[in-house]
A and B are shown apart, each in its own frame.
Chain A
Amino acid sequence: MIYNIPYIAVAALILIGLYAVVFKRNLIKMVIGITLIESGVNLFLITLGYREGSIAPIYTSSPGGIMALPVPQALTLTSIVIGVAVLALMLSLVIHIYRHYGTLDARKIGGNEE
């Protein structure tokens, strides 16, 4: 059970994030939802590469013993960097939307008429 806690956290983060994106009307809350999903996925990747009692995967003067798998960590780093770029872009779009419409309520923005 104790080993499953990270996976439960992953599921919880992703579900809460999806809930926020689907049901919340405030654009900032939607952005937060996406960030939560991203954290969930990143946590999942990190958890995959970790073994109990393992050390950082640095070969130079290593004390021996098991090492954590470095590939998922590299993937997570890349994913975090991309996530920051997406987050910045989304927030800048939210700023522009607020300037145009004066509100962040998704129901009052847009519409089909030109």
Chain B
Amino acid sequence: MNLPTFEFTPALVVAIPLLGAFLTPLVSRINDKLRNIFVIIIMGLTGFFVFLLAYDVLAKGIKVYVFGANTADTIQSLENGLPLLRILFEVDAMSVLMAGISVILGFVAVIYSWSFMKENTGLDKYYTLFLLMIAGMLGMELTGDMFNFFVFLEITSIASCALIAFWTNKGKAVDAAFKYIVISAIGALFILFAVALLYSQYNALNIAVLGSMIQYTFLDKIALILLIVALLMKAGIVPMHMWLPDAYSRAPSSVTVALIGATLASLYGVLRVCFTLYGNSLSNICNNLNINVHSMLGTLLILLAIITIILGVIMALRQINFKRLIAFAAIAELGYMFLGIGTGLTVLGNPELAVYGMTALKGGIFHIINDALDVGLLFLVAGAIYYATRENSLNRMGGLARNLKYTTVFFLIGLLAVSGMPPMNGFASKILIYESTYQLSPILSIIAILCSILLLAVFVKVFYSAFMGPAQPKFKDVKEVPKSMLIAMGIITCIIIFIGLFPQFVINTVVTPAAEALVNFGGEKGFYINEIIESFTLGGV
């Protein structure tokens, strides 16, 4: 198969939703139905370009796109000794993987919104903000420039905050949105401060250029701490998780699904910072202290991940609000990702354990895909139940399997997937994490498996209290949810089952290239940096 390759795909991936966002209010003036179709087409087109880009990147390696100049001119001006001032999009396998996740979640959420949000007013603004949020996420994942990363982060935060507060008639939603914007604003300012610290030392903003020059000075370490803390705060790791259950549970379900994408984009930022920006010397000994920066960072991440898993599951056990319960389960799932990534960071410098480090990293990255799909499906089911019954509390539900046949099946599949049961995709990635963390310390994988079982217990309880039991008279008239919501849930379910049945195919085609793109393999400075430096031959920047 020989697809044509376009030079402009990286730019189009961000430009199409951005343009679509501002055209939506205009289209909305003609007809509501036309606007819905228009938004779906825009998302589909974005998805098409993401997959074109993915095909390109997976076949040919890193793709670089220079804004405002063609590549030849840029190389010319670099050879003339001018610094690299242009904004670059640098797309590697990891970026493409994350962009794919964002676009799938966004596409599903847009289809779901058709019926789910139908009774609301102000939908032109809803769709505008939605597309802006998608554009922001994709920008964060494709950009190769630290300041540009900050700008897209802010676009994502502002749009998603306004969407969390979309049901302004509920005080709780506004409250959750305020928490979220405070966290986002402070996090983003920390990132900007860190970018300024890096710029002041190296006179560069490009991630690859910075990564090739990083010296681990005192200021660099401060910048590292600021970046990691801010991004973990936005990803919702435990000591800084308090905004996440509120934001996830009080936003409309379709928004929550896209919010998962925004959270994962911050997680991508953590990966980029750890492996690329500070990845210059994965086995480098930190100045005079005899401690490896990466194993220190990795140990910290493992510690946070374990606390996150335990706390997320325990908090999920005692929730009675359906969406809040899923939000805590989502926090626990984040912990699994960071467990894999942290283990990878810790042991990759160690030659004896490097194989396990790679497995752990693959598991962590694979779990990003699976978590996004599983938790997304559960939130869609929760939204469907809310749509059908106007109930949020598990105490007031019961016997819904009689009325909502398809939704019940979707929930059952989501339940099995999220708690890591064998035929589903959650198992495929969790087994990778278990077996690799076991090599580092058996206690880690014991905790992880135990918490996974507890998670199953939580969701079996939910399944029983919401879907099983005697028919309740007040739900007599409850009908199955509209088609668009069923289609949205069906799409995710199909992907979950496909990944569950063919995990090795997914690992080989997307996960392994992504993990290898992050990690230093051969070469002195790592794959990402080498590729980009080579494609530009940056002499004395």
Contacts and interface: CB of A to CB of B under 8 A. Distances in A.
Kindly list the 6 A-B residue pairs having the minimum CB-CB distance in the complex, ordered from nearest. Answer: A100-B171, A96-B174, A110-B175, A93-B178, A82-B154, A48-B200
B196 A45 contact: yes
B177 A93 contact: yes
A97 B185 contact: no
Q: Is the interface of A mostly helix, strand, loop or mixed?
A: helix
Contact of B168 (A37, A79, A96, A114): A96
B85 interface: yes
B158 A30 contact: no
Contacts of A66: none
A75 B177 CA distance: 27
A8 to B, nearest CB: 15
B432 interface: no
Nearest to B321: A114
Nearest to A42: B192
Contact of A109 (B157, B175, B199): B175
5 contacts: A38-B185, A41-B189, A41-B196, A90-B181, A110-B175
B158 A90 contact: no
B151 interface: yes
B199 A72 contact: yes
Contacts of A78: 147, 151
Contacts of A30: 182
Interface bin, chain B: 20 to 34
Q: Is the interface of B mostly helix, strand, loop or mixed?
A: helix
B193 A34 contact: no
Interface in B231-273: 246
Contacts of B200: 48
Contact of A86 (B174, B185, B246, B393): B185
A21 interface: yes
Interface string B386-415: 000000110000000000000000000000
Contacts of B321: 114
Interface in A37-52: 37-38, 41, 44-45, 48
Interface of B: 85, 147, 150-151, 154, 157-158, 161-162, 165, 168, 171-172, 174-175, 177-178, 181-182, 185-186, 188-189, 192-193, 195-196, 199-200, 205, 246, 321, 392-393
B174 A90 contact: no
A39 B156 CA distance: 21
A71 interface: yes
Interface of A: 14, 21, 27, 30, 34, 37-38, 41, 44-45, 48, 71-72, 75, 78-79, 82, 85-86, 89-90, 93-94, 96-97, 100-101, 109-110, 114
Contact of A41 (B147, B162, B192): B192
Given A34-B182, A41-B196, A86 B147 contact: no
B149 to A, nearest CB: 12
Contact of A48 (B174, B181, B196): B196
Given A89-B158, A89-B161, 5 more contacts: A21-B186, A38-B185, A44-B196, A96-B168, A100-B175
Contacts of A41: 189, 192-193, 196
Contacts of A93: 161, 165, 174, 177-178, 181
A57 to B, nearest CB: 13
Contacts of A110: 172, 175, 246
B366 to A, nearest CB: 34
B154 A90 contact: no
A102 to B, nearest CB: 10
B146 to A, nearest CB: 10
A45 B198 CA distance: 11
A79 B181 CA distance: 16
Contact of A114 (B85, B177, B188, B392): B392
Contact of A90 (B178, B192, B193): B178
Contacts of A14: 193
A48 B158 CA distance: 28
A82 B161 CA distance: 14
Contacts of B162: 89
B56 to A, nearest CB: 30
